[in-house]
Chain A
Amino acid sequence: MESNDYKSLNDRLETVLDKLQAPDVRVDEAVKLYEEGLKLVAALEKHLQQAENKIEKLKASVS
């Protein structure tokens, strides 16, 4: 299992997009890549939301 931090997930998404854009990608692979891409976007969205919440919470705690 790959690491789940934002950077790894984002790098993986980048790879997925590169593969999807390749001219010789097979359709069954493209479907798998697309599904993986959707999951990655959802996971990244969750990470980002948590990070934003944390930033606001920290700001509230010091001011």
Chain B
Amino acid sequence: MNPEVSFTVSEFVAVLNQTLEYAYPNTMVTGELANFRVSKGRWVYFDLKDDEATVRFFGTVYQLPGPLEDGMLLAVSGMPRLHPQYGFSVNVTSIRPVGEGSIKKAAQLLEAKLAAEGLFDPERKRALPYPPAHIGLITSAESAAYRDFIKVLGARWGGLKISLVDVQVQGEVAPAQIVTAIEQLNAAGDPPDILVVTRGGGSAEDLQAFSTEQVTRAVAASRIPTLVAIGHEVDISLAELAADQRASTPSNAAELLVPDRRAILTGLDAVRQQLERDARGALQSAEADLKLISGSLYDFARRAAQNARQNLELRARLLAAYDPSVALQRGYALVRLDGSHVSSGKQVAVGDVLDISLSDAHVTASIKNVTMDGEYGK
């Protein structure tokens, strides 16, 4: 019984590897992780097993989705290969936790690792500009999340500039696309003042991209403040933990970003009404004061006028007492010579013609005699 083909050992290994390469250029194996170990900080060795079988895998730390732990369910892609010295293993190209439990476990391990590095520290959180003028939006342009976000944003506030980077939000390429989008917006010539990363809800597997190490690190490293809103109920993605602020849904993100124009207008209107009431009140009280003052002013002015009048009447009466006509009625006369009053005999001579005023007449008389004999003819 001759074998059909016969090889040396080396030939057998080479032919077998060639065959495997043809048959399974890239294959995926899903199983439970066992005997996981890292060598020299670079090489990774582990087994995947199920109830009946165990397969060895070999890869590098760069292919790990995050920290792993024995017992987790992994879907590992790679090329099966027989090593000339170390025997059979699958050379890993990618590793992805599968199933609710493993995804959760992987996320927990990664969370612990990144938390230890300080990525989620509250001190790192920056305040978001409120409201922002320019939003960098990273989401799927086809998604309901995008429509909800834009709709709520538009209803609340206007005049915002939005730079959308359309990315896949699930599947294998999602993490790399999201990371590129974050870096691209950070490097933009006209950078937004806030980055919003959002998607709607989904299964743990759908949302996995937002808990990957690369996306979480990119969010934490963003120089532009970040708001991450992954719509799901229970668990918070690691990207949200690393963000400056998280929101529960895309709509909630829009609500947190900008104030509600209507609420502000209502508030302004209340302030306006209050101002109007205040101004009206001040005006009324000023008017009342003025009326009072003007009344007092009137009283003062009238009193001053009355005083002046009394004063004047007093003087007029005093003046009347010196009315010269009263003296004339009593028998005195005013004697003038050439318009000048005569009060002394020295002012006149015999022959002078005098004007004499009496109480009821003027008479003209000529002097016949002048005798200087002192006061009242003594």
Contact = CB atoms under 8 A, between A and B. Distances in A.
A44 B341 CA distance: 30
B324 A27 contact: yes
A51 B305 contact: yes
B272 interface: no
A1 interface: no
A13 B341 contact: no
A39 B292 CA distance: 39
Interface in A9-59: 10, 13-14, 16-17, 20-21, 26-28, 30-31, 33-34, 37-38, 41, 44-45, 48, 51-52, 55, 58-59
B334 A31 contact: yes
Interface in B36-61: none
Contacts of A27: 324, 334, 341, 343
Contact of B318 (A17, A45, A58): A17
Interface centre among A14, A33, A62 (most CB of B within 10 A): A62
A41 B312 contact: yes
DSSP majority for the A interface? Answer: helix
Contacts of A6: 308
Contacts of A62: 291, 294
A42 B367 CA distance: 40
Given A31-B334, A34-B324, A48 B309 contact: yes
Contacts of A44: 312
Interface in B281-304: 291, 294, 298, 301-302
Interface residues of A, number: 28
Contact of B316 (A28, A41, A51): A41
A35 to B, nearest CB: 9
A48 B301 CA distance: 12
Given A27-B334, A28-B341, A37 B308 contact: no
A18 to B, nearest CB: 10
A20 B184 CA distance: 110
B294 A38 contact: no
A41 B309 contact: no
Interface string B313-345: 001101100111000000000100000110100
A10 B308 CA distance: 10
A45 B308 CA distance: 10
A7 to B, nearest CB: 10
B323 A34 contact: yes
A53 to B, nearest CB: 10
Interface of B: 291, 294, 298, 301-302, 305, 308-309, 311-312, 315-316, 318-319, 322-324, 334, 340-341, 343
Given A33-B322, A59-B294, 5 more contacts: A13-B319, A41-B312, A41-B316, A45-B312, A48-B308
14 contacts: A10-B312, A13-B315, A13-B319, A26-B341, A27-B324, A33-B322, A34-B319, A37-B319, A41-B312, A45-B312, A48-B309, A48-B312, A52-B309, A63-B291
